[in-house]
Chains A and B, each alone.
Chain A
Amino acid sequence: MTSKTSSVLKSNKASGKGSLIGYFPVGYPNLESSIEAAVAMCKNGVDVLELGVPYSDPVMDGIVIQEATQMAIENGFKLKQLFGAVKAITEQVDTPVLVMTYWNPVLSYGVEKFAHDLAAAGGAGLITPDLIPDEAAEWLEVSDKYDLDRVFLATPTSSDERLVNACELSRGFIYAVSTMGITGARTEVDANARKVVSNVRRASGSQNTAVGIGISTAAQVAEVNEYSEGAIVGSAFVRAYQEGGVSALTQKVTELAAGLK
């Protein structure tokens, strides 16, 4: 299995640069604008794109992302548009595009069909915040079949046994949840983040770790990259877009990517 996501993270780590993984919800504020925003992120310093699927019941998300994804749904986002968006983005940039989705939309679409259509559109794989490896039998099978990344989560309270399993089953990277909480900017990255990453290191010698939740500044991006393979930023980008559209978003991406030099 080859994972483009993993290659990007590993080579950025090796060159001492580190990686910035950026989240943006597809369909927000509408389909066209979200594609434009995502492409701008990739062109201005995001190394891996995390394209979020709007969902009615996003229990891992704070208010910024909740409001954006709710607006996307109200503005008519339909799941089948996701694949066209992935295609449009991957035709313009080389950045790996991971789709971040709650599980029910995938189940409803059909796990195999979703994987097939995502791979056909050039997508790299899925980040699944409410699908734990224990419940993922079908996804494990079809993600192998279509050579897709699958990113599971590691948290401050995950047991060593669970971490070993999650590292073994993740492909691309494992998502280290920095703090016990939901998405949203925080002034400091939780000390737990280092602990989670070191627990992951103990569980696996080779798996990449990217740290997410609460990261919003260049200093935090740099700090996290000292001990992991990447910093994941979401709410801060969505907020920038809310405040000033693509130009404010581009500026925020440039600013945070500067933390990597």
Chain B
Amino acid sequence: MSNLKDQVGPYFGEFGGRFVPESLIAALDELEATYNTAKNDPSFASELAELHRTYTGRPSIITEAKRFATHAGDVRIFLKREDLNHTGSHKINNVLGQALLTKRMGKTRIIAETGAGQHGVASATAAALFGLECVVYMGEVDTERQALNVARMELLGATVVPVKTGSRTLKDAINEALRDWVANVDNTHYLLGTVAGPHPFPTMVRDFHSVIGNEARAQMLDEFGFLPDALAACVGGGSNAIGLFHAFLDDPNVEMYGFEAAGDGMNTPRHAATLNYGRPGVLHGARSYMLQDEDGQTLESHSISAGLDYPGVGPEHAWLKDLGRAKYWGISDAEAMDALRLLSRTEGIIPAIETSHALAGALKLGKTLKPGSSILVNLSGRGDKDMETAAKYFGLLDGAK
């Protein structure tokens, strides 16, 4: 068996590449060269590891969710607690890595797109820590459903620009960030928040998140003496999922499941299930699966979760899907929200709505696995930012329920 782990961009099979205006090529080349130099420089790795230890709070722990697991058939469920990272999600892993690269390139300004606001908050945090100017593009719809995170970013000193074009969600925020980057590329780094976009982003962002799986694999062996039978993670662009999967790609007995947002449901037109219902095309600089109409126009996605509400997906996931190495299922808004409440009530952990798709997925998956199997879930983020959406959904604010 060849090593899937060793695969790097620009291409993952027929996916990936660089479908961007020529104006960005020099900046992508510079980023790639800077990253390759850093990757081979032990001082970069130790600087990042030290930041993770003293700032992010790594390693993140593993919690066994015993009461939650009783709802998933006869399996054990383990949670990799990325929600306990500083800023509340896995997004900080990638942000700190890219912020160090920004310094190495001598750039003074970062821009970022954000859906749920977690990547924006992490970027604003790193900008504050390193003294960088920070502008975050966020779809207008998302500024409303994640208002708390807008306030956090502004408090941290970032400028949040509500994007009013197109579907006014994550896809359009990325368009606007790309336009900004084209115009300001000499002093600006585009700190892309997921494993999508043109090379080197999918490889580089994956590498920065691979700490999740590397830690978790060692922790499972050390603390429990076995590897999990299956991995579960939610998939928006795919960064937390690939971060967990990567260390296990060449473990043939570990199955991998990514859970996409199915919005109103898998058999409805309102979803964000790109790998299930999309077809290959080019969006935001890479060839991958995407939701598009017969003319190649990008379709709007729909999900209660701002962070999964994206009609594209990272090219490495497209490759893993076609290889059959990972499977991708859809989880509806309702299933995710039920799982959010269930984890809160059985374990005392309030997960992000994005993450709740992975939890709902684990509940479904558990019922299909052999008795006694184990599932390792990437608990990618905490749910504080989602309190308003959740309170409305469950009718907690007006006492309706």
Complex contact A60–B297 (CB within 8 A) = no
A103 touches B19 (CB 8 A): yes
On whether the beta carbons of B22 and A78 are closer than 8 Å, the reply is no
Which residues on B sit within 8 Å (CB–CB) of A11? none
Query: Is the beta-carbon distance between A57 and B20 smaller than 8 angstroms?
Result: no
List 8 A-B residue pairs with CB atoms under 8 Å apart, sorted by A's residue number: A55-B297, A57-B284, A60-B21, A70-B165, A78-B295, A104-B292, A105-B296, A130-B19
Q: Does A152 touch B at the CB level, under 8 Å?
A: yes
Q: Let me know if B182 is at the binding interface, CB within 8 A.
A: yes
A152: B residues at CB distance < 8 A: 22
Q: Are B18 and A109 in contact (CB under 8 A)?
A: no
B281 touches A59 (CB 8 A): no
| Nearest B residue to A181, CB-CB | B183
In the complex, which residues of chain B have a beta carbon less than 8 angstroms from the beta carbon of A109? 295-296
As a 0/1 sequence over residues 167 to 187 of chain B, the CB contacts with chain A under 8 angstroms (1 = contact) are 000010001001100111110
Instruction: Contacts A108-B281, A180-B186 given; indicate if A134 touches B18 (C-beta within 8 A).
Output: yes
Within 8 Å CB of B23, what residues of A?
Answer: 60, 153, 155, 157, 177, 180
Task: Let me know if A132 and B25 touch, CB within 8 A.
Answer: yes
A residues contacting B by CB (< 8 A) are 55-60, 62, 66, 70, 73, 78-79, 103-109, 129-132, 134-135, 152-155, 157-159, 162, 166, 177, 180-182
Chain A contacts for B186, CB-based, 8 A: 180
Interface residue B282 (Cβ < 8 Å from any Cβ of A): yes
Describe B's contact surface by its main secondary structure: mixed
Chain B residue, CB-CB nearest to A106: B296
Closest to B178 in A: A59
Which positions 273-297 of chain B face chain A at CB distance < 8 Å?
281-285, 292, 294-297
Given known A-B contacts A57-B166, A180-B23, A107 and B281 have beta carbons under 8 A apart: yes
* Bound: A66/B166 CA distance, A: 9
Query: Which A residues are in CB contact (< 8 Å) with B18?
Result: 132, 134-135
Q: Please give, as numbers and ranges, the residues of chain B lying within 8 Å of A103 by CB-CB distance.
A: 19, 282
Decide: A108 and B295 in contact? CB cutoff 8 A: yes
Q: Residue among B18, B166, B281, B282 with the most chain A CB within 10 A?
A: B282
Task: List the B side residues contacting A108 at CB < 8 Å.
Answer: 281, 292, 294-296
Beyond the given pairs A106-B296, A108-B294, 20 more chain A to chain B contacts, judged by CB atoms under 8 angstroms and listed by A's residue number, are A55-B296, A57-B166, A57-B171, A57-B298, A59-B21, A59-B179, A60-B179, A103-B282, A104-B296, A105-B295, A130-B21, A131-B19, A157-B25, A158-B26, A162-B22, A177-B22, A180-B183, A181-B183, A182-B179, A182-B183
In the complex, how many angstroms separate the beta carbon of A72 from the nearest chain B beta carbon? 11
Pairs of residues from A and B, 7 with the lowest C-beta to C-beta distance, nearest first: A108-B296, A157-B26, A181-B183, A105-B296, A153-B22, A79-B295, A104-B296
A135 contacts which of B17, B165, B184, B296 (Cβ < 8 Å)?
Answer: B17
* Chain B residue, CB-CB nearest to A159: B26
Other-chain residue from A70, A177, A180 in contact with B185 (beta carbon distance below 8 A): A180
**Nearest-CB distance from B297 to chain A (Å)?**
4
Residues from chain B with Cβ under 8 Å of A59 in the complex: 20-21, 175, 178-179, 182, 284
Chain A residues with Cβ below 8 Å from B4 are none
Q: What separation, in Å, do the CA atoms of A177 and B204 have in the docked complex? A: 29
**What B residues does A153 contact at CB under 8 A?**
21-23
Query: How long is the Cα–Cα vector from A41 to B284 in the complex, in angstroms?
Result: 32
* Bound form: Cα–Cα A233–B166 in Å: 25
B283:A104 contact, CB within 8 angstroms: yes
Query: What residue in chain B is nearest A59 (Cβ atoms)?
Result: B178
B27 touches A (CB below 8 Å): yes
B328 to chain A, nearest CB (A): 22
